[in-house]
Amino acid sequence: MAQQNRFDIEPVSRFAGLNAAVRRPREITFFSFDDDHKFRLDDSSLRYYYPPALPCDLSKGFDTFRQLDDSGDDHLDGLLDAIIAHEKEKGSKTEIDFLTWRGMMTKIMVVPFSKLDDWEMNATLFQGTIFIEENHTKKISSRQEQYSSAGRPGAMSQDLMSFWGYKFETVSLMPAPWSETSREYIESREDEVVSNYAQYCSIVRTGFGKVKMILGGEVDAVMAFKPEDKSKPIDWVELKTTAVVTNDKEQTKYERKLLKFWAQSFLLGVPRIVVGYRSQQGYLEHLEELDVQTIPDKVKMKGKGLWDGQTCISFAASFLEWLKDVITSDGVWQIRKREKVPVLEVFKLEESGHGDILSPSFVEWRTHG
Ligand code: A3P
Ligand code: MG
Ligand code: MG
């Protein structure tokens, strides 16, 4: 029987007073996936924000959507390739406790207030760093379950609703700063083919309590431009669509959703979110700009006790510090959260090696490079 370790989620109140500090995330490097989803060590897929014309039919162009097939497992590949290049340039290896995609940290951070979440991650220790990836098989099967349970008669399809999010990006973004973009381009954005092949990924160094980490994640755009001076904060903007709020129940649902918006943006140091409110039929009606830093206090002021940002930060710091004491040997570990089960379970899946978590080129670089 494999050794099993358990980290209690409840009572969450024990994390509220810990006040674990977070380091301001700083971008150390970046990469792009181009229009063919090919990896590039540059900022070619960086996008710039310019407000869309309203109202806008977000369903327009659904029939020509170029949707990336993400059924294959990319592990941490893009992130590790960018780290190899960064270390070669710097001439030294990066010493940190954890390395993962931002999405994994978002899932961990929101645990205290996300009882229904159900996920699995794989982790391995290599040269003093714990690498964490999503368990791809679990992700695919959860998605299939979600799709088969969502078939309410008259409801919009999941695919169409997901398209609305990408369409919102297409009508709100430009491939170059405003000063270099033609009025014709801006006015014709509604007719652009929507594709989710291209991405700009920012890789940051940050820290939670005592743990230091590197996170990689997609950022949607910059507000004006990216500063040349690397010590300056970047004016990132995250785009999100959400249903127009018409009653108290929907307002509460929206405030719960803000937990994910906040955590996702906060982790990469994204200061602003542009929320596009859309009707049930997918018409973009109005926009709201949110200052990421003030989201937790705004939600708290409503007094419903839906979630607390400091609890999330201190929970993540405590869990990762604990995890460092659990994952101390070679092999592949699984971190598991089950729906409605108030524990994070960690157990060893494979006694040796690193599974497929680390790319051969990364292991080669760190071993002989
Ligand atoms: P919305 O967030 O506006 O719905 P992101 O917000 O992270 O930049 O992602 C961009 C869009 O990708 C989302 O826009 C949504 O359309 C789609 N998307 C992201 N995660 C998804 C998921 N788990 N399932 C379906 N669509 C998703
Ligand atoms: Mg995005
Ligand atoms: Mg977005």
Report yes or no: 269 and 233 within 8 Å, Cβ to Cβ: yes
Ligand 1 near 59 CB (within 6 A):
no
- Give the mean pLDDT of the chain: 96
Residue tagged 């939670």 (tokens): 208
**Atom 25 of ligand 1, residue of closest alpha carbon:** 162
Please tell me the predicted confidence (pLDDT) of residue 4. 75
| Percentage of the chain lying above the pLDDT 90 cut | 93
Closest CA to 110 of 325, 296, 322: 296
Please tell me the predicted confidence (pLDDT) of residue 369. 82
Ligand 1 near 261 CB (within 6 A):
no
Q: What is the mean pLDDT of residues 152-167?
A: 87
Please tell me the predicted confidence (pLDDT) of residue 145. 86
Ligand 2: centre distance to CA 162 (Å):
12
Pocket test for ligand 1, best of 162, 267, 278 (most atoms within 8 A of CB): 162
Ligand 1 near 119 CB (within 6 A):
no
The enclosing H or E element of 291 equals strand 283-291
Ligand 1: centre distance to CA 94 (Å):
31
Quick check: 1 pLDDT over 70? no
Ligand 1 near 162 CB (within 6 A):
yes
Quick check: 68 pLDDT over 90? yes
**Atom 6 of ligand 1, residue of closest alpha carbon:** 240
Ligand 1 near 353 CB (within 6 A):
no
CA atoms of 112 and 231, how far apart (whole Å): 33
Quick check: 2 pLDDT over 60? no
Pocket test for ligand 1, best of 105, 147, 240 (most atoms within 8 A of CB): 240
Please tell me the predicted confidence (pLDDT) of residue 155. 73
In the structure, what pLDDT confidence band is assigned to residue 3 with cuts at 50, 70 and 90? low
Residue tagged 């803000």 (tokens): 258
**Atom 11 of ligand 1, residue of closest alpha carbon:** 165
Beta strands in 41-134 (DSSP E): 48-49, 56-57, 98-101, 119-126, 129-134
Ligand 1: centre distance to CA 170 (Å):
13
Question: Helices 102-109 and 248-268: crossing angle, nearest 10°?
Answer: 130
| pLDDT, tens digit (0-9, with 9 covering 90-100), for 180-223 | 999 999 999 999 999 999 999 999 999 999 999 999 999 999 99
Helix (H, G, I), strand (E, B) or coil at 60: coil
Ligand 1 near 103 CB (within 6 A):
no
Report the amino acid identity of residue 228.
E
Q: What is the mean pLDDT of residues 38-54?
A: 98
| pLDDT, tens digit (0-9, with 9 covering 90-100), for 323-368 | 999 999 999 999 999 999 999 999 999 999 999 999 999 999 999 8
Give the closest ligand to the alpha carbon of residue 198.
2
Ligand 2: centre distance to CA 218 (Å):
6
Please tell me the predicted confidence (pLDDT) of residue 146. 82
Strand order in the sheet with 332-337: 4-8, 343-350, 332-337, 119-126, 129-134, 98-101, 211-218, 199-208, 22-33, 39-40
Ligand 1: centre distance to CA 131 (Å):
25
Ligand 1 near 165 CB (within 6 A):
yes
Give the closest ligand to the alpha carbon of residue 218.
2
Ligand 2: centre distance to CA 239 (Å):
7
Ligand 1 near 166 CB (within 6 A):
yes
CA-to-CA separations, 146 to 68, 118, 156, 160, 259, in angstroms, rounded: 19, 12, 14, 15, 21
Q: What is the mean pLDDT of residues 212-240?
A: 96
Please tell me the predicted confidence (pLDDT) of residue 154. 63
Least confident interval from 10-19, 153-162, 166-175, 212-221? 153-162
Ligand 1 near 168 CB (within 6 A):
yes
| pLDDT, tens digit (0-9, with 9 covering 90-100), for 118-131 | 999 999 999 999 99
Tokens of residue 245, six digits: 């709020």
The enclosing H or E element of 316 equals helix 309-326
Ligand 1 near 241 CB (within 6 A):
yes
Burial of 19 (0-12, 13-18, 19+ CB in 10 A): exposed
**Ligand 1 nearest atom to the CA of residue 158, by list position:** 25
φ/ψ of residue 358, rounded to 5: -100, 135
Cis peptide before 342 (omega within 30 of 0): no
| Residues 6 or more apart whose Cβ sits within 8 Å of residue 306 | 113, 252, 255, 256, 259, 299
Ligand 1 near 167 CB (within 6 A):
no
Quick check: 7 pLDDT over 50? yes
Ligand 3: centre distance to CA 198 (Å):
13
Please tell me the predicted confidence (pLDDT) of residue 287. 98
Please tell me the predicted confidence (pLDDT) of residue 228. 92
| Percentage of the chain lying above the pLDDT 70 cut | 98
Q: What is the ipTM of this complex?
A: 0.96
